[in-house]
Amino acid sequence: MKAQVQVALTGAAVLFLGGGLALLFTPGAAAALLSSAPVAPAMTAMFGSALFAFATLFIIAARAPVREVVYGSAVSLGLLGLVAGYQLLIAKHMPQNPASVITLVLTLGIGVFLFISLTDAAMELAKGGRAKRRSPPRRKTKKARRRRR
């Protein structure tokens, strides 16, 4: 499971690194993919630097996938995906082009995969064991009570 988590985090890092660099160095062309209204260059650069920071987080998490860091990455992907989904599908402030839809699907898909990989059952399977059901505590039988006396 560790290798799959590292691949997912590296994919997210590449996705957001590309978007962040595009917004930093070609703000006009990249902003046209994200917004149907004119966007100030300063805001575009700030969003680009935020995506660059996300990419840095994902690179660090991919190098040493500690549970807490992977959890933080999954939460950040989930929040970004929810906001982008709202802007794209409900508020209609983002143009519905293939780039924005693919980015939204990848962001939410990687976030969901990371959440699933953090479950206890997935962690147990990654250790090489089987996911076990928790059995209810055993009740003491009359025989066991008699032996104690």
Confidence of residue 34 (pLDDT cuts 50, 70, 90): confident
Over range 8-22, report the average pLDDT.
Answer: 94
Q: Round to whole Å and give the CA distance between 7 and 110.
A: 10
Buried b (16+ CB within 10 A) or exposed e, 42-71: eebbebbeebbebbebbbebbeebeeebbe
pLDDT in tens, 105-118: 999 999 999 999 98
Question: What Rg, from alpha-carbon coordinates, does the chain have?
Answer: 22
Looking up tokens 């680009």, which residue turns up? 48
- Work out the mean pLDDT of the chain and round it to a whole number: 86
| Cα separation, 20 vs 86, whole angstroms | 20
Q: How far apart are CA 110 and CA 25, in angstroms?
A: 26
Report pLDDT for 145: 63
pLDDT of residue 60: 92
Of 94, 6, 27, 101, nearest to 19 by C-alpha is 27
Taking the model in full, what pTM does it have?
0.77
H or E segment and range at residue 105 = helix 98-117
